[in-house]
Chains A and B, each alone.
Chain A
Amino acid sequence: MQHEISGSAVISLLVDNESGALARIVELFSGRGYNIQSLTVAPVDEIGAISRVNIVTTGTPSAIGQVKVQIERLVPVSRVVNLSAQGPHVAREMALVKVVSSGEPRTEALRIAEAFRARAVDTTATSFVFELTGSTDKLDSFIELMRPLGLVEVSRTGVASICRGPQTIQNF
């Protein structure tokens, strides 16, 4: 995957959806000096009792190994997988990108958006909001290209990730 840049890893985990659970995870990272590049969290079971957290972190393989075992120690965490180490997986995020421009830059922005298959979800005479889903790298390059074309604001979700093939986070 594109975020398999050296030193970066996606860790996915399942955690009981209780108050303070996310704080436990985040404080573990800050307290032990680990780095969080992005973090997503949402309930994933039918009754909303379990949340899945995806964390993109950076570090040496052994540091990332430590991150994983440290998270495993947390009582409400039931599963932790380092998807980057586990094999092929899909990692996607979504961005909303606002561009304010007119004339040639505006047409150019629209052309690039089409090339990236970004959707214009809001359009005014002077602005666009593009919605784009894809790998982190793809979003990064789209945003870079928009920069000289009137980019004024970016909102990104962070990575959601899942392994390829029939196996799941439960049965690695």
Chain B
Amino acid sequence: MTTTIAPAPSAAQATVTLPGAEVLLRALVEQGVEVIFGYPGGAVLPIYDALFRQNHIRHILVRHEQAAVHAAEAYARSTGKVGVVLVTSGPGATNAVTGLLDAMMDSIPLVCLSGQVPTALIGNDAFQEADTTGITRPVTKYNYLVRRPEDLAPAVHEAFAIARSGRPGPVLVDLPKNITVGDAPYISAQAVTPRTGKIRTTPDRAAVSRAVAAMKAARRPLFYIGGGVINSGPQASEALRKLAKLTGFPVTSTLMGLGAYPATDSQFLGMLGMHGTYEANLATHGCDVLVALGSRFDDRVTGRVNAFSPGSFKIHVDIDPSQINKIVHVDEGIVGDVGETIAMMIEEWLKPPAYAHAADLTAWWAQIEGWRALDCLRFKQDQAPDAVIKPQQAISRIFELGRQTGRDMYVSTEVGQHQMWAAQFFKFDKPNRWLTSGGLGTMGYGLPAAVGAQVAHPDALVMDIAGEASTLMNIQELGTIAQYRLPVKIFIINNHYMGMVRQWQELLHGSRYSESYSDALPDFVKLAESFHARGLRVTRLDQLDDTIREALAHDGPVMVDICVAEGENCFPMIPSGAAHNEMILGPEQEDSGAQISQEGQMLV
């Protein structure tokens, strides 16, 4: 810790001194924390003791520290608040690492509190000692090892400020046991000046005005939105709707941006990228002005970078300056909060001259409608009553029947084909409802994420669209679900394969299905029952809707094992190393379509 965040002397005079653990909890309360996801151990016992003696903060006991982080991520993503995690030293902290990186990649604001051995023992290979700040440095936005009592409260306050400011992310505070046991001064948040001053939220007016001038000159424009719009807050989504309506431009979204623009709106083209829609990808390829809003040109979006949206004038708005020109060279980079920037774009758009090419947009829209007419997400479901259920059928019915309940829906996913189908078939009209691991693609995210979302929204319909392989990675969270009676609905799209791996093996490795079969699966119905949840199974088409309805109507947790066709592939697909206009649309094209190059094979 440094003197830069130490309180001003006048403020320090009013401080009280308390045991460190109580100082910590006071700081959390001052930061508005209501829920902590955690797991105890020796190094955090003083904190658990302090938790025991208070009523302000609710503690949710998970069954694995990785799950604590994912639950906190979903809590944060679905509420806009900072998620809080508490883990013990050593293995507790190392178990949290995957979750922290997941939050880092998807820009989720978290504070992770970890126990540490007493400062006097640090460096001695003490029991359950880990160099936690060293291990987590590359997976956090920032981290602290609190060595002095007077640094405790300021570190916690600054951690929250850093987690939520600019591009959000996870911050870890490592707390040696002597710090939480010993006395420390309580310092309030106002007395701390966090080092977040470098962040620029208000964009440069001149740059925005140049961008809008380019937008007004566009004949084939496109908004390409990302998770930044959601992070910016609901007002950014509102502003985006307004800007889209004013301009009439089409909108495509990344996986992380889904919900920021209403999916049922006619200007929405669906997701772009590797498993994006035909219309979204061809519009990206063919547009003349591309307006990237809070998106980061991820390789899952761009495909082959030198073939990405060739010939478009590119505008990129991001709060993180390091994202601009990182992967794709842009013509107008704008650093700022995406919500503020969209609002400024609206002001500039309304200034004269009026958009001259509104008529030309008709031609662009006609082209888009032509692509849309291909109906790229269509699939063939045999309608016989005893037909094998297609995974797409299962997922589209879950969405439809979920929607029909009229309840507020939050949806988490695991990672794989089911995740991509969920992204394709779930139509989110509001932000913060879609919880998925985008940047890291962490199998095991979905079940704990459903826990976090249900804790945050006790009355909402929380669903987890899972794969049978992924869900086993954090299946122990059924225990958490049981303990807190969280009525989450888990739908396992059980294709008996690590489907996404199987798909790549089919397309890139001569159908050699090396180790991708989900062998020796548990009986998910009995598994659910053993965790005090309802277990259901469906194997034939004619029982699909009824089973989903039954699950949705049940007022407790349910796990539904939906046995689906094993060999289905997720389309459209842009193979790695290919361009957006080299998409594979369906099984018919698997061999004839884009040739997967050797170079493409080397990409992930």
Q: Which residues of A contact B (CB under 8 A)?
A: 16-20, 23-24, 27, 31, 47, 49, 62, 65-66, 69-70, 72-73, 75-76, 78
Partner of A65 from B134, B141, B143, B325 at Cβ < 8 Å: B325
Asked if B142 contacts A75 (CB within 8 A), the reply is: yes
A-chain residues with CB within 8 Å of residue B478 when the two chains form the complex: none
Give 14 A-B pairs besides A20-B137, A24-B137, A75-B195 with Cβ atoms closer than 8 angstroms: A16-B4, A18-B1, A18-B2, A19-B145, A20-B133, A27-B137, A31-B138, A49-B3, A69-B322, A69-B324, A70-B322, A72-B198, A73-B321, A75-B142
Given contacts A19-B145, A27-B137, contact A75 B162 (CB under 8 A): yes
Report whether B325 and A73 are in contact in the complex, using a CB–CB cutoff of 8 Å. Answer: no
Closest 3 CB pairs of A and B: A69-B322, A16-B2, A75-B142
* Contact string against A for B residues 293-328, beta-carbon threshold 8 Å, 1 for contact and 0 otherwise: 000000000000000000000000000111011100
Residue of A nearest to B171 (CB): A75
| Bound Cα distance from A31 to B198, whole angstroms | 23
Query: Which residues of the partner chain A approach B195 to less than 8 Å between Cβ atoms?
Result: 16, 75-76, 78
Which residues of chain B come closer than 8 Å to A65, judged between CB atoms? 325
- Cβ-Cβ contact count across A and B, 8 Å cutoff: 47
B3 engages A20 (CB within 8 Å): no
Complex interface: chain A residues within 8 A of B134 (CB):
20, 23
Q: Which residues of A have CB within 8 Å of B320?
A: 73
User: B143: which A residues are within 8 A, CB to CB?
Assistant: 20
Please tell me if the beta carbons of B326 and A66 are within 8 angstroms of each other in the complex.
yes
Task: Write the nearest CB–CB distance from B415 to chain A, whole angstroms.
Answer: 23
Chain A neighbourhood of B4, CB < 8 A = 16, 49
Shortest B334–chain A CB gap in Å is 14
B1: chain A residues within 8 A (beta carbon): 18
Distance in angstroms between the alpha carbons of A70 and B141 in the assembled complex: 12
Q: How far is the CB of A13 from chain B (nearest CB, A)?
A: 12
Most chain-B CB neighbours within 10 Å: which of A17, A65, A69? Answer: A69
Most buried by B among A18, A20, A24, A75: A75
A31 vs B138: C-alpha distance when bound (angstroms): 8
Given A20-B137, A72-B322: A49 touches B162 (CB 8 Å cut-off): no
17 examples of A-B residue contacts, CB within 8 angstroms: A16-B4, A16-B195, A17-B2, A19-B147, A20-B134, A20-B143, A23-B134, A23-B137, A49-B2, A62-B329, A66-B322, A69-B321, A72-B322, A73-B322, A75-B141, A76-B195, A78-B198
A62 to B329, CA, bound (A): 10
Nearest-neighbour CB distance to chain B for A170, whole angstroms, equals: 14
The smallest beta-carbon distance between A106 and chain B, in angstroms, is 47
> Is the pair B322, A47 in contact by a Cβ cutoff of 8 Å?
no
Encode contact with A along B174-188: 1 for CB under 8 Å, 0 otherwise.
Answer: 000000000000000
CB proximity of B176 to chain A, nearest CB, Å? 13
Closest Cβ–Cβ distance, residue B272 to chain A (whole Å) = 24
Residue ID in chain B nearest A66 by CB atoms: B326
Docked complex Cα distance between A65 and B324 (Å): 10
B329: which A residues are within 8 A, CB to CB? 62
How far is B434's CA from A45's CA once the two chains are assembled, in angstroms?
A: 48
Task: Tell me whether A76 and B2 are in contact (CB under 8 A).
Answer: yes
Least Cβ–Cβ distance between B188 and chain A, in angstroms: 21
- Give the shortest distance, in Å, between A136 (CB) and chain B (any CB): 28
Residue of B nearest to A20 (CB): B133
Distance, CA A72 to CA B200, complexed state (A): 12
Least Cβ–Cβ distance between B276 and chain A, in angstroms: 27
Once the chains are docked, how many angstroms separate the CA of A80 from the CA of B325?
A: 18
Chain B residues with CB below 8 A from A76, complex form: 2, 195
Chain A, Cβ-Cβ closest to B167: A73
Which residue of A has the minimal Cβ distance to B198?
A72
Give every chain B residue within 8 A of A47 (Cβ-Cβ).
3
The 8 Å CB contact of B321, one of A16, A23, A72, A78, is A72
The distance in angstroms between the C-alpha atoms of A72 and B323, with both chains bound, is 12
Is A62 in contact with B133, judged by CB distance below 8 angstroms?
no
